[in-house]
Amino acid sequence: MKDVVLLGAGKFALEVARYLEDVTAADPQAGYRIRQYVAVAGEPTHAPAELTVDLAEFAPEPGSRVLLALSEVALRRQLIDDVIAKHALVADNIVHPSSRVDPAALRGTGNIIGPDNYVGVNTVFGDFNVVNYRSSFGHHSGVGSNNFVAPNFHCGNSVEIGDDNFFGLSCTVAPGVEIGDKCRFQAGLTLFDNAATGFSYLAPNRVKSLKSL
């Protein structure tokens, strides 16, 4: 069993902790024991107080094993660059035992794949992506790094997704679509066209009001 520190101490960190429980139950020798949660400014703390330390007090040794357990993409990127890379920390790929993911699909590190997901043949992931649960990625697709995918996401085959994107609940991406970097997609959105970098994409039928500045 391996000790691990969760970078994050909010609600999503507790969700990741449950994934680790299931991984450990399926294979105790290859499982994980949570040694500590690291609370990050701007995120309410929900982890057990006795296991939680503030980021300012976190002093890891190089090679320490961590998992990035935050949902806010910009904050995740900051921790990747300023904590994980800076201190030469190790981030394993975590795949829930109920998901179908070829080992070769995870070319990077630090990916978290939750329950009941499917990744098609010859689809590859970079680093530090999160796939919550009940999602699917079509065959021959590519996913960059630090993308956060909320539950019930589905994409067709031959889709290309860049870096630092956030997909809300129940988004769908049509086959062959290319998505840039640093985009946000509203829950329930269906995307048929390529998405340029740096935009927020909304479903028009779901916009109730826009406040004038």
Residue range 100-135, pLDDT digits in tens: 999 999 999 999 999 999 999 999 999 999 999 999
Q: What is the dihedral of CA 115, 150, 111, 154, to 10 degrees?
A: 80
- Calpha distance 201→199 (Å, rounded): 6
Per the CB < 8 A criterion, the answer to whether 118 and 104 are in contact is no
Phi, psi of 95 (to 5 degrees): -125, 120
Per the CB < 8 A criterion, the answer to whether 146 and 80 are in contact is yes
Question: Domains of the chain, with CATH numbers?
Answer: 2-85 (no CATH), 95-213 (2.160.10.10)
Residue range 134-182, pLDDT digits in tens: 999 999 999 999 999 999 999 999 999 999 999 999 999 999 999 999 9
CA 141 from chain centre, in angstroms, equals 17
Q: What is the pTM of this model?
A: 0.93
146 — alpha (psi -120 to 50), left (phi > 0) or beta? Answer: left
